[in-house]
Structure 1
Amino acid sequence: LLKDDFQFILCEGCQQESPNLKLLTCLHTLCLGCLSENKPIGQCPVCRTAIPLASGIPDMDNLLFTNLQARLKLYQKIVDGVDLFCNTCKKAGKFWCSKCEEFLCTKCFEAHQRYLKRESHKAKSVTDIRAGSAKDFLRDTRRTGNLSCSNPSHKSQTV
């Protein structure tokens, strides 16, 4: 997935996926490894702009890229069929609700649709997600203004 359409969410230094991407003042995104290598130089390895912090490592995470990576990993999990269990009853997950961010078995899906259809919850079958593209999945899971904080101790907090 990342090698084609989503290469832009990789570290701009090593071109690898990283959970700790940092956003520099020059707007390049680098992983901690690449930043540590360039720490003595104190410059962005891409454009050579000075990194203003004494530590050489910015404290601003690239939340957009981190959230895209998480959603693409979820898409890959669905495509691979790995650990797709209903979040409620732990049976085989046949549906995905992007609003609830949960897998649902057929029985729980029916209850979900009955009780949440007025709130525009549109769970989609795992089979339909697999038939679509990663871009389709991202479009269907897009939430406006709900970027989650990347700090592990702030799991439920949005930015």
Structure 2
Amino acid sequence: LLEDDFQFILCEGCRQESTSLKLLPCLHTLCLGCLSKTKHIGQCSVCQMPIPQASGIPDMDNLLFTNLQARLKVYKKIMGGVDLFCDNCKKPGEFWCCECEEFLCTKCSEAHQRYLASHEAKRVMDIRAGSAKDFLEGTQKTSNLSCSNPTHKNQSV
């Protein structure tokens, strides 16, 4: 399901999705697995530029790629044909609010729109009719980048 347009968010070493992508000073992005393999060398496995951190693992997470992966994971869930359930009442989920990051049934969606009029809950069937690019464009206007540091839970960048 990962379209060719989104191959850039994979680890540049193993070409896999990872929740622990690190941004190197050379601007390449590697997962912790690939970095631990080259830790003793202390350089980027793509361009061989030295990594200045003594541990060989940069401190900076690639938050943009990590957040894009999280959004694409939701898109894959929507497209995957699995049953989606309302996060509030557990009835069939027919809408997705990208601001709340919740699936909603019709009744909860109506209440949601009444109290959170600035949020746009999109119909799941409309999302399925579009592309991943359409889905991401719809979420970029409203979603914030969240810090991946576990001690900064739910803090926006």
Tell me the TM-score normalised to structure 1 length. 0.92
- Tell me the equivalent position of 2:133: 135
Matches within 5 A, 1:1-159: 1-2=1-2, 4-82=4-82, 84-117=84-117, 119=118, 121-143=119-141, 146-159=144-157
What is the CA-CA distance between 1:139 and the residue it aligns to? 0.4
**Ranges in structure 2 where 5+ consecutive residues have no aligned partner:** none
Aligned residues of 1:77 and 1:83 also touching (Cα < 8 A): no
**Cα deviation, residue 80, structure 1:** 1.2
SS of 2:65's partner is: helix
Q: What letter matches 1:141 in structure 2?
A: T
Q: Decide whether aligned partners of structure 1 residues 89 and 158 sit closer, same or farther in structure 2, where only a CA change above 3 A counts.
A: same
Kept in 1, the 8 Å contact 2:99–2:143? The answer is no
The CA deviation string for residues 61-108 of structure 1, in whole angstroms up to 9 with x for no partner, is: 000000000000000001113352112111111001112211110111
CA distance in 2, matches of 1:81, 1:102: 17
Fraction of identical pairs, as percent: 76
8 Å contact 2:98–2:142 — kept in the other structure? no
**More off after superposition, 84-93 vs 67-76:** 84-93
Q: Whole-Å Cα distance in 1 between the matches of residues 72 and 84 of structure 2? A: 15
Give the CA deviation at 1:152: 3.1
Checking the alignment, whether the CA contact within 8 Å between 1:92 and 1:105 is kept in structure 2 is yes
RMSD (Å) for aligned C-alpha atoms: 1.6
The structural deviation recorded for 1:113 is 2.1
Deviations 1:31-53 (A, max 9, x none): 11111111111111111110001
Q: Is the 8 A contact 1:12 1:46 kept in 2?
A: yes
Per the TM alignment, residue 154 of structure 1 is displaced from its structure 2 partner at its CA by: 2.8
Of the structure 1 ranges 32-41 and 71-80, higher mean CA displacement relative to structure 2 is found in 32-41
Q: Is the 8 A contact 1:98 1:141 kept in 2?
A: yes
- The 8 Å contact of residues 96 and 124 in structure 2, kept in 1 or not, is answered as yes
Please report the TM-score for the alignment, with normalisation by the length of structure 2: 0.93
Deviation per CA, 1:115-156: give whole Å up to 9, x if none.
322x2x221110000010000000001146821011234331
